[in-house]
Structure 1
Amino acid sequence: MKHTALCFALVFVLGAGVCFAASPVPEVPVKGMVTMVDIGAKACIPCKMMMPVMEEVEKEYKGKAAIIFIDVWENKDQGAKFGLKVIPTQIFYDKEGKETYRHEGFLDKAPISERLDKLLAQ
Structure 2
Amino acid sequence: MAISHVTDQTFSTETNEGLVLVDFWAPWCGPCKMIAPVLEELDAEMSDSVKITKIDVDDNPETAGKFGVMSIPTLLLFKDGEVVDKVVGFQPKEALAELVKKHA
Scaled by the length of structure 1, what TM-score is found?
Answer: 0.70
Unpaired stretches in structure 1, ≥5 consecutive residues: 1-22
Verify the 8 A CA contact 2:6 2:54 in the aligned structure 1.
Answer: no
Cα distance in 1 for residues equivalent to 2:56 and 2:33? 11
- Secondary structure of the residue that 1:100 maps to in structure 2? strand
Count of residues paired in the alignment = 97
Superposition deviation, residue 64 in structure 1: 2.2
Unpaired stretches in structure 2, ≥5 consecutive residues: none
What residue in structure 2 maps to residue 9 of structure 1? none
Instruction: Identify the structure with the greater helix proportion.
Output: 1
Kindly indicate whether residue 80 of structure 2 is the aligned counterpart of residue 103 of structure 1: no
Between the two structures, name the one with larger relative contact order (CA 8 Å, sep ≥ 6).
2
Q: CA RMSD in A?
A: 1.8
Question: Measured at CA, do residues 100 and 24 of structure 1 come closer, stay the same or move farther in structure 2, by a change above 3 Å?
Answer: closer
Identity across the alignment (%): 31
Show the 5 A alignment for 1:12-91: 24-25=6-7, 26-28=10-12, 30-91=15-76
Verify the 8 A CA contact 2:75 2:88 in the aligned structure 1.
Answer: yes
Cα distance in 2 for residues equivalent to 1:73 and 1:27? 15
Instruction: Identify the structure with the greater strand proportion.
Output: 2
